[in-house]
Structure 1
Amino acid sequence: MPCPLPRIAPLCSALLLGLAALFGATPALAQAERCPKLVADSPFLKHLAPRALPAAYVGPREVGLTYIGHSTFLIQTAGGVTAATDYNDYVRPSVVPRVATMNRAHSTHYSLNPDPGIEHVLKGWREDRDPLHYDLDIDDLWVGNLQTNIRDWQGQSILNGNSIFVFRAADLCIAHLGHLHHTLTQEDIGALGRLDVVLAPVDGSYTLDIDGMIEVLKALEAPVIIPMHYFNEGTLSNFLTRFAGQNYAIERRESPELVLSRQTLPRTPTVIVLPPGG
């Protein structure tokens, strides 16, 4: 249910939140109107592949995406806003991002000493485990989150310990699943809305098992899936082999950098493997 007109967006947003409360849907994402569920494919769009270009080159209506490593990506908008996912002290982009998102599972997903030049440090959890919701506009980038639970080393559940962060720029919705430990409910799927790109942990052990991750990715129906959080080629190949029968094309790229746009989303849902090292 999109809010197409800026003048009525506040009214539409209030209506959506009211409906969410009425039907018990997760109200964590105010972006229900920002990343609405719709068909990304269109017969009027010429099929093009996402381009492998330096992320510094981002034209109008495009978003740059660079795989830094582990669970860290650098997102860059046409307006020059940069965001780093699961920002930590071990794997960092070479530039200081304006936005850094974090998750609490392990120290490779957060930093206790983020660079002081970062304008917005967004932790995906609260120490008291209460819900935490972001609805942040930074120039031409919007950031929101949907919280999920995680396990501790003893297998006990930590309520609201992980956030799925959603980034919207150039009418593209990019979701970073973080350290996801369980499948998503229909309310979660509805709250996330339309997603165009999903950054998915595929280790199959520390996060969600492969069967569970496949279930989540099929439910999200994103045209582009980019694997992350794999520890070696064997781990990655196991996921790709299991996913090959799910009507997804699989592409391996030589560059860790992509430039994406709505016009170049693949017609066939595609897993794009990027090498780390941006």
Structure 2
Amino acid sequence: MKVRINSKGVASMLAVVLCTALLGACSKPDEGKEAATEKPTAVASVLPSLDSSKASESPSPSSTPSATPSPARTIPAKPVENGPLTIQYVGNSCFYLTFPDGTTLITDPYPHKYDSPFGPAPEMDVDAISISHYHPDHMPDADQFKGNPMQLLPGQMKQPVQVGGVEVTGYNSKHVAHAGDNEIFVFRYGDLKIAHMGETDKIETPEAIAAVKDADVVLAYAGGYGSDTVKNAVRFKALYDLGVKVLIPQHFSNDPKNIFYDGPTIDQVLADVPKGVNIVKTDKFVVTKETEKQFIQLDPIKR
């Protein structure tokens, strides 16, 4: 069929075609990939796969969405409340951090499908969520967190991001089981520095080594998944050798009757703490510059 268009309508028709093409390109991601919005807003809008009820139980590199680095919004600093910097453990690799100005942040929140091995999934009101990698036990359900917490996502941490009074930087590394990439997060508040390793024991670059070196606290991977070559005793010693003051383990089996991914129990983790390092058990750890070298066993938050 031939369509005749008079010369006066050509410009209008070309404009319509061009707009349609652009809209189609923006709304349709590449085959086999998930789209990332330019500016993160709600968790589900950036990564539909964060609804981990639809994700595979077994993490795999192929489940990793493509993440295009984009500028993250900034949360303004809050009036300083002069409170302590505290760390509480939720389960798996998930920690709840409260900074002196009242800024709150949660790391690697898991969904409710993992309540059995780790305890109730987190649903706190927070200013920001950090996710080290796109595996289902490190991502929340799409509607798990209310409001509009900032998202700190792997592959999108090319520049430091300000969350209240906290400067957050990310460093690429490799997943401990060779299952894709992993982001090491470093949180700085004044002269205090906390590093979250995610699911890796590999600090890949000189920049990452410098960032983790002399940290006040490292939230250290202590799992058994993928640990065929590196054991906890070696991991812990390597971090202490970097001048780290405090190690707090994560990604182990919280329930000895429900072993997760062959992960050790806390008793097995503690057996690998280097000799001479004091072990302290508590339900909330307060970070200060006066903190001495030690290993912290954090009991999970009771909810």
Band of TM-score, shorter chain: 0.5 to 0.7
Counterpart for residue 98 of structure 2: 76
Match of 2:154 in 1: 124
How far apart, in 2, do the equivalents of 1:214 and 1:111 lie?
28
- In the TM superposition, residue 201 of structure 1 has moved relative to its aligned partner by 1.6
Cα deviation for residue 169 of structure 1 reads 1.8
1:224 is matched with which residue: 234, 246, 250?
A: 246
Q: Give the corresponding residue for 1:243.
A: 273
Alpha-carbon distance, 1:170 to partner: 4.2
For the 8 Å contact 1:103–1:124, the answer to whether it is kept is yes
SS at match of 2:152: strand
CA gap of 1:118–1:221, structure 2 versus 1, over 3 A, is farther
Is the strand fraction higher in 1 or 2?
1
For residue 192 of structure 1, report the CA deviation from its aligned partner: 3.1
**Alignment partners' CA distance in 2, 1:146 and 1:116:** 28
Aligned-pair distance for 1:185? 5.5
- Mapping of 1:14-163 within 5 angstroms? 60=82, 62-90=84-112, 92-104=121-133, 106-111=135-140, 113=142, 115-125=145-155, 132-150=157-175, 155=178, 158=180, 161-163=181-183
Equivalent residue, structure 2, for 1:202: 222
Q: Is the 8 A contact 2:83 2:101 kept in 1?
A: no
Asked whether 1:164 is paired with 2:164, we answer no
User: Post-superposition shift, 1:250?
Assistant: 0.9
TM-score (norm 2): 0.60
Offset of 1:147 from its aligned partner?
1.1
Cα RMSD (Å) = 2.7
- Inter-partner Cα distance in structure 1 for 2:134 and 2:240: 24
Choose which of 160, 167, 175 in structure 1 pairs with 2:195: 175
User: Helix, strand or coil for the counterpart of 1:262?
Assistant: coil
Is 2:132–2:185's contact at 8 Å kept on the other side of the alignment?
A: no
Uncovered stretches (5+) of structure 2, i.e. residues with no partner: 1-79, 113-119, 257-263
Q: Could you tell me how far 1:142 is from its partner in structure 2?
A: 1.3
Task: State the alpha-carbon separation in 2 of the partners of residues 244 and 192 from structure 1.
Answer: 19
TM-score when normalising by structure 1: 0.64
SS of equivalent to 2:271 = helix
Q: Residues 194 and 238 (structure 1 numbering): CA distance in 2 closer, same or farther, change over 3 Å? A: same
In structure 1, C-alpha distance between the alignment counterparts of 2:130 and 2:158, rounded to whole Å: 13
User: Structure 1 residue 188: deviation in Å?
Assistant: 3.1
Q: Distance in 2 between matches of 1:203 and 1:117?
A: 32
SS of the residue 1:237 aligns to:
helix
Q: Distance in 2 between matches of 1:194 and 1:172?
A: 10
- TM-aligned CA deviation for residue 270 of structure 1: 0.2
Q: CA separation in 2, counterparts of 1:120 and 1:73?
A: 16
Identity rate of aligned residues, in percent? 25
One-letter code aligned to 2:167: W
Higher relative contact order (CA 8 A, sep 6+): 1
Q: Could you say what secondary structure the match of 2:88 adopts?
A: strand
Aligned length: 205
Q: Which amino acid aligns with 2:238?
A: V
